[in-house]
């Protein structure tokens, strides 16, 4: 809890002198050395009162003053990203390992009667408990910061200077696709294929379509801003976006080909 100590709130010369001394200590800890003419010497200095009244001093419970811009809490964007992706990764491996150990027969079973070598993802994360609850809990924690990231990127794109006439409409489209992707992820997570296959299937289609479209348009948007001056960190981010889009594109269509082949020929050993 922060206490605001103002010189005008102190009663009596002794309290005002103490406030001036405390104000001087706090400001010097910030690297701000007050003028010599207004430093309190011995006893109460009337000259220092107008100076302290013009510079209110903030004290925190940890004896550390707040930042001049009023920032209370700082968090690096990369640290938040690593923190966010931890939840689905943990939930995925927990569900797969738990299914292999305790629900192997159910999670490798198929409609056509041939077994899989490993549990399918849909049956591992939504077929049995506690996997279903753990996965939903992890995705719930994962999704909330994703909406904050969508707004952060939206503000970042709008702050970039670009003379292209279609730049701002493209920013709105990308932001909309990002929000739709997150909403579809929540729907397909909380409505499993065993509960309502139609809703789960449609939500998955919307999720994949919006995800791939969002990544592709983001790369196009960064191509537009790349013509202008960008930092080295932004160029590195653009390169990673390109790589992740290519990996995601190849992985999705590979999984789609395996899925249709398994449904057509009903071969054993799928996932």
What's the pLDDT tens digit per position in 213-259? 999 999 998 888 765 566 788 788 888 999 999 999 999 999 899 88
pTM over 0.85: no
**DSSP tally for the chain: helices H, then strands E:** 9, 2
The answer to whether the beta carbons of residues 92 and 72 sit under 8 Å apart is: no
Please name every residue paired with 3 in a beta bridge, in sequence order, or none if there are none.
Answer: 59
Q: Token pair of 151, please? A: 């707004």
pLDDT, tens digit, 9 for 90 and up, residues 23-72 = 555 555 555 554 544 444 444 444 444 444 444 444 444 444 445 666 66
The answer to whether the beta carbons of residues 53 and 6 sit under 8 Å apart is: yes
- Three-state secondary structure readout of 161-219: CCCCCCHHHHHHHHHHHHHHHHHHHHHHHHCCCCCCHHHHHHHHHHHHHHHHHHHHHHH
Please name every residue paired with 5 in a beta bridge, in sequence order, or none if there are none.
Answer: 57
């Amino acid at each position: 809890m922060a206490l605001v100590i103002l010189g005008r709130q102190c009663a009596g010369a002794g309290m005002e002198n103490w406030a001036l001394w405390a104000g001087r200590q706090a400001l010097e800890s910030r690297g701000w050395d007050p003028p010599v003419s207004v430093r309190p010497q011995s006893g109460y200095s009337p000259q220092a009162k107008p100076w302290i009244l013009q510079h209110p001093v903030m004290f925190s419970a940890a004896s550390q003053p707040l930042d001049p811009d009023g920032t209370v809490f700082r968090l690096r964007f990369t640290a938040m990203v690593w923190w966010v992706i931890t939840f689905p990764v943990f939930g995925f491996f927990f569900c797969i390992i738990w299914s292999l150990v305790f629900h192997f027969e159910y999670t490798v079973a198929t409609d056509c009667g041939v077994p899989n070598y490993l549990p399918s993802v849909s049956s591992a994360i939504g077929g049995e408990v506690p996997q279903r609850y753990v996965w939903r809990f992890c995705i719930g924690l994962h999704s909330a910061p994703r909406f904050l990231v969508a707004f952060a990127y939206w503000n970042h794109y709008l702050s970039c200077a670009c003379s292209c006439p279609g730049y701002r409409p493209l920013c709105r489209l990308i932001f909309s696709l990002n929000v739709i992707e997150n909403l579809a992820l929540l729907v397909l997570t909380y409505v499993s294929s065993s509960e309502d296959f139609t809703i789960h299937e449609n939500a998955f289609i919307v999720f994949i379509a919006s995800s791939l479209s969002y990544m592709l348009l983001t790369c196009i948007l960064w191509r537009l801003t790349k013509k202008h001056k960008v930092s080295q960190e932004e160029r590195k981010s653009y390169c990673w976006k390109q790589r992740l889009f290519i990996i995601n594109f190849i992985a999705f269509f590979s999984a789609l080909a395996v899925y249709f082949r398994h449904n057509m020929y009903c071969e054993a050993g799928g996932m």
